[in-house]
Amino acid sequence: MIRKHFEGVINAASSDITNAMSESVNSHIQRIKKRACGFRSRVRFREAILFHLGALDLYPDAIASTYSKS
């Protein structure tokens, strides 16, 4: 089995790339799902994921500049 996947084994051992980011995103999605105790539709579940994990700027530039002056 190792001979069959030798290139992949060497690549995994020599690179620092892991699946930690995808596991982290999956963990966040599972937390959102658990907090909601069910969604009415897939659309609402998708919107909740995008809201929490989308890294959105909730304040437009004009409002943000007003708050930063205070």
**Domain map of the chain by residue range?**
6-69
What does the pLDDT average to over 7-33? 87
Which carries the bigger pLDDT value, residue 64 or residue 47?
47
Task: Report helix angle 20-36 to 42-53, nearest 10.
Answer: 120
- Whether the predicted pLDDT of 68 surpasses 70: no
The model carries a pTM of 0.56
Taking a C-beta distance cutoff of 8 angstroms, is the pair 50, 28 a contact? no
What does the pLDDT average to over 19-37? 89
